[in-house]
Chain A
Amino acid sequence: MNRIAAACMLLLVSVQPVIAHTGHGNASNTAATTASEPLVQDPWLAGSTIIGAVILVTSLYFIYRMIRTFRREQA
C-alpha cells in the first residue's frame, strides 16, 4: 500500500508542472477559466510529461523489483 502511495505521489509531483503550466493548478487562473477554454492548452506537452512520469515510476518499480530479487538470491 505504501509503495502504491509513493508511486502515486511521484506521478503527481512529476505531472504537477503541466498542471501549473496549463493554468489549472493556479487558483486565480482556475477562476478565470471559461468553459470554452480547452482543459489542456498544449496536449503534446501534457502527453509527453505524462509519458515521462509513467516511464519514471515504472523504471523505479522494475529497479526496486530487481534489487529485491538480487537480495533474495544472495540470502
Chain B
Amino acid sequence: MIDVLLQDSVTLARFVHVLGAVTAVGAVLVTDTVNAVPHFRPAFAATAAKVASLLSFLVWSGFALLAASGLYLLQIQSHLVRDPLFRAKMLLIVILFVNGIFLNIWVTPRFRALADTWAEDSAEKETFERIAGAAAAISLIGWATVLLFGVLITHG
C-alpha cells in the first residue's frame, strides 16, 4: 500500500490533496460550530476565542497541502483547466482564500478583543456577529461546494 503511494506520484499527490481538503473542511466545520456557541452561551466566548487561532492554523495547513498538491496535479493533468467545473472551483477557491485572509486579519483579532465583554450587549458586538456570521457562511458553503466540485471533476 505505502509502496504504491511512493511509486505513483499522482496517487500520492491525490492523497495529499484529499488530506488537505479533509483538514481544511474539518477545521472550518469545527470553527463555525465553536464560534456559534457564544451566541447562545456567552460564557464560552473566551474559550472559543482562544481555540479560534488554533483552528485557523489547521485551515491554513489544509490550504497549504491543497495548493502544493494541486500545483503538482495541475501540471500533470493540465487538460482539467478546460473543464467548466474546474474553472468554477478555482473561482470559489479565490473567494475562499480572500475570505480566509479577512477572517484571519479582521474577524479573529476582533473576536479576541470582544470575548472578555461578550456577555454585555453592545452595538459593536451585534455588528461583529453579523459580519463574522456572513464570513463563516461563505466559508462553510464555499468549502462544501469546492468539495462537491472536486468529487464531480474526478468522478463526474
A interface, CB within 8 angstroms of B? 14, 17-18, 21, 42, 44-45, 47-49, 51-56, 58-60, 62-63, 66-67, 69
Contacts and interface: CB of A to CB of B under 8 A. Distances in A.
Interface residues of B, number: 25
Nearest to A14: B71
Interface stretch (B39-47, B62-70, B139-147, B148-156): B62-70
A56 B81 contact: no
Interface string B78-99: 1001100011001001100100
A55 B63 contact: yes
A18 B70 CA distance: 13
Interface string B25-61: 0000000000000000000000000000100110011
Contacts of B82: 44
Given A44-B81, A45-B81, A59 B67 contact: yes
B60 A62 contact: yes
Nearest to A61: B60
A49 B74 contact: yes
Contacts of A47: 90
A51 B87 contact: no
Nearest to A42: B81
Nearest to A43: B81
B93 A51 contact: yes
